[in-house]
């Protein structure tokens, strides 16, 4: 085959592939772009804008301050931070030792526990929601941070992920540590956990994303704005603003999505690793 | 294996070590096991038992009603409609997001300089709060104010109201579902693609498969089999759990045409507090999810040998 046609082939191929990728990227970015554009558009213009992308005057200040004063957005985000931090802390405290036990220690109940973990991986939170809700209602614990966090203290996904990660940890190092007089707890604290930093980062990013974004469970156990997490807050905000002030609503949406987008841009590698580590084995 | 070698010469010290190890194993697995029992196993057992009762939240009296909740459910118009809508939604979202995810992954993988940018863009919806973006989508497709309808009008199409039209509403929701899942599926396919040995393409080249389509049909697609299966299963389960967009945008409207399983379950269980029927629906939901998961395990089992 001659060289020249090959090069033009390549060129055409790359033009076509860029064309489709940009088309797709435009579809993906459309809501983000429109959210930002509307959030800086004056209210009067929203109703006449149509598909005019660029606002003729800017009202970013008004819209963003309105979003922040009309609804307790910062409170929602603080609630989100507390809930995510609490969930992640307990998940790690349970999943790291649990994963280590399943990967490296032999005890008779091990296959049973691992089987339960695998079973748990297939059970969505909506399945356990009713009984946990009834228990919380009977204990008068609805509308608390604890209620929002409780079902997620157990992450079978976390246990599974750490178990897979620890499986490949060299047995010789653990042996050597035992001979040096390390207890099993010391091995976890001083050898296993430091080695698992990449897995912890990947899991943290995964856990924070899913619980910051979760709507189903917070919607069930909280009825007040005091404990509402960002998605629930967004719904409350939308319900009081319907039809009237899209600029402020879009500003609110931008504020609520910003933290995770920033986390994602800085920790993209952890995201991807988190998905592929357990996804395709 | 080392284990076999070691057990061959068991010594008293070795025995003590094994006992200590087992003890530590139980100690470390106990918190996980307690949470599994309290937050997973017990609730599943309870929800099954509840499905056999007429329990209502706050009520003091309740009684066993056998399978009444299940037979009622199978005759319940709203439940059947929700199930049907959910299946339609799944039937659009799964092929849409799997095929687009694969196409994007293949195109992105060939890029050199722009690969990272495209990857970031396509992955963006996976991480952003779907509730907030649903509000944005609702606005985008608003028949009076939205840019999409304005654009369509300017191009001479007649007005359309995606979320108000009984025939379009599920399609509209599915578009958002696809928008959110393409990037996730792209990442999984990219992982699968990088795992294909380059020699296979060289070998196919020698065999005369040098066109892009030939390479895809003879190497990429067969080698991606396990990845594709995994992607289809995860996407099916995710799509089956559609809730957020319905709760924010349509609330089951118009005329119940966007009632989906989890939204109906939410209304029956947590707004009307009819725990018995809601539990029966929960069990139906669990059975479906387990069937999909088992189907995956079964298929993988049949074709691991390649």
Q: Is residue B59 part of a domain?
A: no
List alpha helices for chain B, DSSP H.
2-8, 12-36, 42-50, 68-75, 77-110, 115-127, 130-140, 147-154, 169-194, 198-206, 212-215, 221-223, 225-240, 244-245, 261-266, 275-303
If asked whether residues B35 and B95 sit together in one domain, one would say no
Q: Closest to B29 (Cβ–Cβ): which among A113, A122, A230?
A: A113
Q: Closest to B145 (Cβ–Cβ): which among A46, A130, A178?
A: A46
Q: Is residue B64 part of a domain?
A: no
Q: Is residue B66 part of a domain?
A: no
If asked whether residues B201 and B247 sit together in one domain, one would say yes
Q: Over pLDDT 90: what percentage of chain B?
A: 56
- How many domains would you assign to chain B? 2
- Residues B77-90, mean pLDDT to the nearest whole number: 96
If asked whether residues B19 and B123 sit together in one domain, one would say no
Helix (H) or strand (E) segment spanning residue A39: helix A3-39
State the average pLDDT for chain A. 88
Q: How confident is the model at residue B284 (pLDDT cuts 50, 70, 90)?
A: very high
Please check the confidence at residue A263 and state whether its pLDDT lies above 50.
yes
pTM of the model: 0.90
Least Cα distance to A220 among A125, A153, A154 occurs for: A125
In sequence order, what DSSP letters do the residues of A202-217 get, joined into one string? HHHHHHHHHHHH--HH
Interchain contact, B290 vs A122, CB within 8 Å: yes
d(CA A236, CA A247): 16
pLDDT tens digits along A151-176: 999 999 999 999 988 998 999 999 89
If asked whether residues B41 and B89 sit together in one domain, one would say no
State the average pLDDT for chain B. 88
Q: Is residue B62 part of a domain?
A: no
pLDDT tens digits along B150-167: 788 888 787 788 898 899
- Residues A240-261, mean pLDDT to the nearest whole number: 84
Q: Using CB atoms and an 8 Å cut-off, which of residues 59-98 of chain B contact chain A?
A: none
- Residues B82-108, mean pLDDT to the nearest whole number: 96
Amino acid A2: pLDDT: 44
Q: Is residue B60 part of a domain?
A: no
Q: How confident is the model at residue B132 (pLDDT cuts 50, 70, 90)?
A: very high
Q: How confident is the model at residue A280 (pLDDT cuts 50, 70, 90)?
A: very low
- Residues B248-258, mean pLDDT to the nearest whole number: 91
Q: Which residues of A touch B107 (CB under 8 A)?
A: 17, 20-21
If asked whether residues B114 and B187 sit together in one domain, one would say yes
Look-up of token digits 């009622």: B72
How far A35 CA sits from the closest chain B CA (Å)? Answer: 6
Q: Is residue B57 part of a domain?
A: no
If asked whether residues B297 and B227 sit together in one domain, one would say yes
Amino acid B269: pLDDT: 93
Q: Closest to B129 (Cβ–Cβ): which among A105, A132, A257?
A: A257
Interchain contact, A256 vs B129, CB within 8 Å: yes
Q: Is residue B234 part of a domain?
A: yes
Q: How confident is the model at residue A242 (pLDDT cuts 50, 70, 90)?
A: low
- Residues A96-123, mean pLDDT to the nearest whole number: 93
Write down all domains in chain A, each with its CATH number in brackets.
Answer: 3-65 (no CATH), 71-241 (1.10.3720.10)
How far B167 CA sits from the closest chain A CA (Å)? Answer: 22
Q: Which residues of A touch B286 (CB under 8 A)?
A: 123, 127
Neighbouring residues of B230: CB distance < 8 A, sequence distance ≥ 6: A279, A280, B188, B296
How far B26 CA sits from the closest chain A CA (Å)? Answer: 7
If asked whether residues B19 and B127 sit together in one domain, one would say no
Q: Which residues span the domain enclosing B129?
A: 77-303
If asked whether residues B191 and B236 sit together in one domain, one would say yes
Q: How confident is the model at residue A243 (pLDDT cuts 50, 70, 90)?
A: low
Amino acid A116: pLDDT: 95
Look-up of token digits 């089956």: B240
Q: Closest to B137 (Cβ–Cβ): which among A20, A31, A128?
A: A31
- Does B226 touch chain A if contact means CB atoms closer than 8 Å? yes
- Of A225-229, B92-96, B108-112, B201-205, which one has max mean pLDDT? B92-96
Q: Which residues of A touch B135 (CB under 8 A)?
A: 234, 238, 249, 253
Distance of CA A20 to the CA centre of its chain: 29
Q: Is residue B154 part of a domain?
A: yes
If asked whether residues B93 and B44 sit together in one domain, one would say no
If asked whether residues B180 and B278 sit together in one domain, one would say yes
If asked whether residues B106 and B42 sit together in one domain, one would say no
- Does A95 touch chain B if contact means CB atoms closer than 8 Å? yes
If asked whether residues B30 and B88 sit together in one domain, one would say no
pLDDT tens digits along A27-61: 999 999 999 988 888 877 776 656 666 777 788 88
Q: Residue B201's domain is classified under what CATH number? A: 1.10.3720.10
pLDDT tens digits along B14-70: 788 788 888 999 999 999 999 999 999 999 999 999 999 999 887 778 899 999 999
- Does A238 touch chain B if contact means CB atoms closer than 8 Å? yes
Please check the confidence at residue B304 and state whether its pLDDT lies above 60.
no
Q: Which residues of B touch A31 (CB under 8 A)?
A: 133, 136-137, 140, 179
């Amino acid at each position: 085959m001659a060289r020249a046609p090959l090069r033009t082939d390549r060129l055409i191929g790359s033009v076509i592939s860029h064309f489709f990728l940009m088309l797709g990227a435009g579809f993906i970015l459309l809501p983000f772009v429109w959210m930002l554009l509307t959030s800086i558009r004056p209210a009067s213009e929203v109703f006449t804008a149509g598909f005019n992308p660029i606002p003729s005057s800017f009202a970013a200040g008004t819209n963003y301050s309105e979003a922040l004063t009309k609804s307790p957005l910062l409170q929602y985000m603080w609630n989100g931070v507390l809930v995510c931090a609490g969930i992640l802390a307990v998940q790690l405290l349970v999943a790291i030792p649990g994963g280590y036990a399943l990967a490296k220690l032999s005890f008779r109940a091990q296959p049973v526990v691992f089987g339960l973990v695998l079973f748990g991986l297939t059970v969505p939170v909506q399945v356990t929601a009713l009984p946990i809700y009834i228990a919380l209602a009977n204990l008068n614990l609805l509308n608390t941070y604890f209620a929002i966090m409780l079902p997620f203290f157990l992450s079978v996904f976390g246990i599974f992920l750490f178990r897979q990660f620890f499986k490949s940890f060299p047995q010789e190092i653990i042996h050597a540590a035992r001979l040096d007089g390390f207890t099993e707890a010391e091995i976890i604290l001083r050898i296993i956990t430091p080695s698992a930093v990449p897995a912890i980062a990947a899991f943290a990013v995964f856990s924070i994303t899913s619980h910051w974004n979760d709507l189903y469970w917070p919607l069930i156990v909280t009825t007040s704005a005091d404990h509402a997490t960002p998605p629930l807050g967004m719904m409350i905000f939308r319900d009081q603003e319907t039809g009237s002030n899209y600029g402020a609503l879009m500003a609110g949406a931008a504020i609520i999505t910003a933290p995770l987008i920033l986390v994602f841009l800085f920790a993209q590698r952890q995201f991807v690793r988190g998905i592929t580590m357990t996804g395709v084995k | 294996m080392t284990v076999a070698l070691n057990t061959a010469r068991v010594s008293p010290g070795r025995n003590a070590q094994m006992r200590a190890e087992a003890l530590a194993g139980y100690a470390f697995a106990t918190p996980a096991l307690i949470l599994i029992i309290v937050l997973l196993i017990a609730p599943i057992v309870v929800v099954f038992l509840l499905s056999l009762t007429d329990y209502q939240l706050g009520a003091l009296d309740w009684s066993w009603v056998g399978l009444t909740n299940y037979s009622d459910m199978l005759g319940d118009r709203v439940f059947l409609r929700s199930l049907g809508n959910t299946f339609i939604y799944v039937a659009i979202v799964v092929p849409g997001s799997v095929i687009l995810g694969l196409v994007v992954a293949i195109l992105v993988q060939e890029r050199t300089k722009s690969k990272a940018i495209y990857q970031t863009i396509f992955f963006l919806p996976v991480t952003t709060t779907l509730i907030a973006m649903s509000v944005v989508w609702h606005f985008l497709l608003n028949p009076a104010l939205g840019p999409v309808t304005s654009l369509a009008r300017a191009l001479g199409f007649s007005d359309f109201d995606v979320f108000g039209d009984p025939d379009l509403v599920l399609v509209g929701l599915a578009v958002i579902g696809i928008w959110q899942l393409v990037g996730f599926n792209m990442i999984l396919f990219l992982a699968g693609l990088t795992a294909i040995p380059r020699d296979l393409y060289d070998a196919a080249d020698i065999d005369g498969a040098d066109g892009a389509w030939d390479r895809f049909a003879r190497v990429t697609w067969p080698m991606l089999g396990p990845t594709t299966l995994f992607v289809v299963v995860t996407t099916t389960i995710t799509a089956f759990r559609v809730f957020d967009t319905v709760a924010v945008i349509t609330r089951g409207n118009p005329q119940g045409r966007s009632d989906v399983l989890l939204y109906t379950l939410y209304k029956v269980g947590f707004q009307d507090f009819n725990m018995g029927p809601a539990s029966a629906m929960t069990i139906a939901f669990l059975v479906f999810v387990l069937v999909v998961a088992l189907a995956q395990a079964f298929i993988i089992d049949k074709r691991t040998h390649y």
